[in-house]
Amino acid sequence: STQNTNQNKKLQEYTSLASTQYYLMISQSEYLVQVYRRDGQNWLYNYYTQLKESIDLPFFPASLSMSDIYENVILNLPEALK
């Protein structure tokens, strides 16, 4: 899809910058945050899907909670996933 193409292009562009330490993609349709973290010359990937989870960003140092990211966001999820 166009969205995937745009996301992949932006991922390549941002991760090619030496100053980029993290690249986060936050879904608008589900509880999903995808995190790419620089580890030297490599990139590590993690994803988060639970509101009780916290995303650590040790380079800054800081963390983001999923509940803060999705605060006041209304998703059309099946009742079982809420």
Q: What residues contact residue 14 under an 8 Å CB cut-off, 6+ apart?
A: 20, 23
> Above 70 in pLDDT, residue 28?
yes
> Above 60 in pLDDT, residue 80?
no
Question: How confident is residue 81, by pLDDT bands cut at 50, 70 and 90?
Answer: low
Global pTM? 0.84
For the chain, the average pLDDT equals: 90
Q: Can you give the pLDDT at residue 79?
A: 61
Q: Can you give the pLDDT at residue 62?
A: 95
Work out the angle at residue 20's Cα, subtended by the Cα atoms of residues 14 and 21, and round it to the nearest 5 degrees.
130
Q: Can you give the pLDDT at residue 59?
A: 94
